[in-house]
Structure 1
Amino acid sequence: MLDLAQRIVFCALLGSVYASCPPRCECSEAAHTVKCVSRDLRSIPTGIPGYTRNLFITGNQISRIGPESFKGLDNVTNLSLSNNRISEVESYTFAGLRSLRSLDLSNNQLAVIHPQAFTVQNQSLRELNLSRALYNHSSVMDLATSLRWSSLGTLRGLDLSDNSLIYLPSRIFCHLSSLQRLQLSNNSLVAIHNSTFSGLENLQELDLTLNALKTVPEEGLRELDTLPGTALLLGENPFTCKCGIEPFALWLNRSQGRIRDAEGLMCAFPASMRNVSMLAVGTLTLGCHQRNAGADLALQTSYVFLGIVLGFVGLIFLFVLYLNRKGIKKRIYDMRDACREVWEGYHYRFEIDSGPRLSQVSSGGDM
């Protein structure tokens, strides 16, 4: 019995050592959770227990993370690093987290994202939250490179909302073949171009709400049509309902089944069209074709009127010529006689100057 009791005490002591909690953190072995929240940490703490599956290190002052930050944490499944002011993520930072499925880097200031920053062994990562994570919109180029080079072939959800993105590089998501949910809400995207969503054959939901889309041109419509199985959210965009938006309006009506907020899409500009349903916008509402037909008719009418005026002026001119035909004829004869006299004078002078005999007589008389 004594040996058994000693063994139990020894195991308890050993377990307590194994399950020691880092300073300024809270650990729960029963919940497999460690929380280091708002403790003014400058780096990822060491000594995190190996049983940890849920690791929350948030609200601190950590500026950089690298491969040495998460060693020995093979069991971590959910990792939250939000609101830490992280500005740099090195390549292979999360490579040792071979069980990682969810990574939250939201509310940081990522200015430098290395090419393989999100690589995880076994490609276990399923959810990546980068909402409010980019330092500015120029960081999207680093992000595009990292999404291309990191092993994210099994990623299911990507959140890029609230990042002030103005544009998306071509084929930025082409290596995320398993992606099912893409959140791009509350950015400043002004257009959808060809190959923007290339490679997203399995995408189920695309959120484009609260951007700066005034319309979606035909190029963008073709791009969205490459995602026939994707549910779309397009609300809270400043759609400008003027001539030229008809193809987009017709596309919305044709694609209502896949646009979850189609009924709520409204015109924002001009003021006369504000709060008019985008589904109701068409040639009848805008009157573009009617105005174009009217403009064509007015142009044709002006051409006809100009032809009539010119014809009338020509008739008057011919009539004036007819009335003054005698005077005109006399002037023509006078001009002909004057020209003839001038010509004869020049001809006479030429003969005098060129005749040899006349030239000798002229020279002898001079002598």
Structure 2
Amino acid sequence: MRDFTRGVVLCALLGSVYASCPPRCECSEAAHTVKCVSKDLRSVPAGIPAYTRNLFITGNQIRRIGPESFKGLDNVTNLSLSNNRISEVESHAFSGLLRLRSLDLSNNQLAVIHPEAFTVLNQSLRELNLSRALYNHSSVMDLASSLRWSSLGNLRVLDLSHNSLIYLPSRIFSHLSGLRRLQLANNSLVALHNASLSGLELLEELDLTLNALKTFPEEGLRELDSVPRASLLLGENPFTCTCGIEPFALWLNASQARVEDADGLLCDFPASMRNTSVLAAGALTLGCHQRDAGADLALQTSYVFLGIVLGFIGLIFLFVLYLNRKGIKKRVYDLRDACREVWEGYHYRIEIDSDPRLSQVTTSADV
């Protein structure tokens, strides 16, 4: 009888554990883990156990995440929603996850990101993965607003790689004062400007590999210097080693300790410089300076010579006028008298035409 009672209790416990696991998901109370992987789910399943710390809902067809999606899951610390075709994340969608530290939204199609989409109470979020997550270029503006409004001061890692970003909005990271690692690899960034790295004084790693950076002008170098503690990765960019590369080449030679792949940075254009180390581009730029100085000197000399010639011509013209002053004066007077005679003749004809007696004579003649 006692064994039977134990069996009933065990079956009840197993049944309760099984019942607490959502359909088409796998639950492990011992590992505090729930996995709902590639089950064609259309929304976040209900009934996720409260013990869950690691929640993986990946490879499904979930289009939207809202405030009701994760209610009652106070213990979740790691949440993966990758590869779900998510297009919209509403404000406070993750606010109910009081202990959330890592959020993975990679490989989605985020087109609409509401201003407080990543708000988590207690600012517990430490890692945010948005690799291959943005649907198009316009969604980066939504992202910028969300990063400003979501209270992410304690965020340590942000991954924005593989998003085809062509620019970074001004001060997009200014509210991420605690960020330590920023991954911007494999985008299409052509420049750093408009204080896009402002507020990241504590940054320790910045990855800019595999972008479209051809050089770093002075503004771009100021951006890199605004994160003085960060180790930089700049490889696999199509650097153009013409005269404009000089500021970057000089900066790179002085900052090799910060640029981890400085020795591997190679020129991509022009063809004569291809695969040449950017560090060695200083020799080219010295020649540029010499050519530029010579060109400036020649241009200045040309301007001076032109000014002298024009001045000389002007003096000759004034001298000729002076020598012919009497003849010029006579011609002016003659022209004035001729104009006066023409005007008087014209005025006389007008008076004759307007004389009423003349009109009477004409009428009488007709009769």
The TM-score with structure 2 as length reference comes to 0.79
Q: CA deviation at 1:14?
A: 4.3
Is the 2:245–2:285 contact (alpha carbons within 8 Å) kept by the matching residues of 1? no
Q: 1:297–1:154: structure 2 CA closer, same or farther, 3 Å change rule?
A: closer
- 1:320 aligned residue: none
Q: Structure 2 CA distance, aligned partners of 1:154 and 1:308?
A: 68
State the SS of the aligned residue for 1:268.
strand
Is the 1:194–1:220 contact (alpha carbons within 8 Å) kept by the matching residues of 2? no
- For residues 132-162 of structure 1, what are the alpha-carbon distances to aligned partners after superposition, in whole Å with 9 as ceiling and x for unaligned? 0000111011001111111211111000001
State the SS of the aligned residue for 1:103.
strand
Q: Percent identity?
A: 78
- 1:356 aligned residue: none
- 2:295 aligned residue: 295
**Range with greater deviation from structure 2 (50-59 or 258-267):** 50-59
Q: How does 1:69-218 map to 2 (within 5 A)?
A: 69-218=69-218
**Range with greater deviation from structure 2 (172-181 or 21-30):** 21-30
- 2:24 aligned residue: 24
Is the 2:50–2:72 contact (alpha carbons within 8 Å) kept by the matching residues of 1? yes
**Range with greater deviation from structure 2 (10-19 or 269-278):** 10-19
Q: CA deviation at 1:200?
A: 1.0
Is the 1:87–1:110 contact (alpha carbons within 8 Å) kept by the matching residues of 2? yes
Q: CA deviation at 1:293?
A: 3.6
Q: CA deviation at 1:244?
A: 2.0
Q: Structure 1 CA distance, aligned partners of 2:305 and 2:14?
A: 102
Q: Structure 2 CA distance, aligned partners of 1:61 and 1:73?
A: 22
Q: CA deviation at 1:67?
A: 1.1
Is the 1:19–1:29 contact (alpha carbons within 8 Å) kept by the matching residues of 2? no
Q: CA deviation at 1:302?
A: 6.5
Q: CA deviation at 1:295?
A: 2.8
Is the 2:243–2:284 contact (alpha carbons within 8 Å) kept by the matching residues of 1? no
- Is 2:64 aligned against 1:52? no
Q: Structure 2 CA distance, aligned partners of 1:177 and 1:6?
A: 59
Q: Structure 1 CA distance, aligned partners of 2:216 and 2:145?
A: 27
Which consecutive aligned stretches of 4+ in structure 1 deviate over 6 angstroms post-superposition?
300-310
Q: Structure 2 CA distance, aligned partners of 1:242 and 1:167?
A: 23
Is the 1:70–1:96 contact (alpha carbons within 8 Å) kept by the matching residues of 2? yes
| Equivalent position amino acid for 1:13 in 2 | A
Q: CA deviation at 1:300?
A: 7.0
Q: 1:19–1:102: structure 2 CA closer, same or farther, 3 Å change rule?
A: farther
Q: Structure 1 CA distance, aligned partners of 2:299 and 2:70?
A: 74
| Equivalent position amino acid for 2:16 in 1 | V
- Is 2:245 aligned against 1:245? yes
Q: CA deviation at 1:217?
A: 1.1
Q: 1:254–1:65: structure 2 CA closer, same or farther, 3 Å change rule?
A: same
Q: 1:98–1:241: structure 2 CA closer, same or farther, 3 Å change rule?
A: same
Is the 1:249–1:281 contact (alpha carbons within 8 Å) kept by the matching residues of 2? yes
Where does structure 1 lack aligned partners over 5 or more consecutive residues?
318-331, 347-367
Q: How does 1:307-326 map to 2 (within 5 A)?
A: none
State the SS of the aligned residue for 1:44.
coil
Q: Structure 2 CA distance, aligned partners of 1:307 and 1:89?
A: 68
Q: 1:304–1:22: structure 2 CA closer, same or farther, 3 Å change rule?
A: closer
Task: Tell me the C-alpha RMSD between the 2 structures.
Answer: 3.0
**Range with greater deviation from structure 2 (187-196 or 141-150):** 187-196
State the SS of the aligned residue for 1:69.
coil
- 1:328 aligned residue: none
Q: CA deviation at 1:9?
A: 4.3
- 2:280 aligned residue: 280
- Is 2:43 aligned against 1:43? yes
State the SS of the aligned residue for 1:68.
coil
Is the 1:131–1:162 contact (alpha carbons within 8 Å) kept by the matching residues of 2? yes
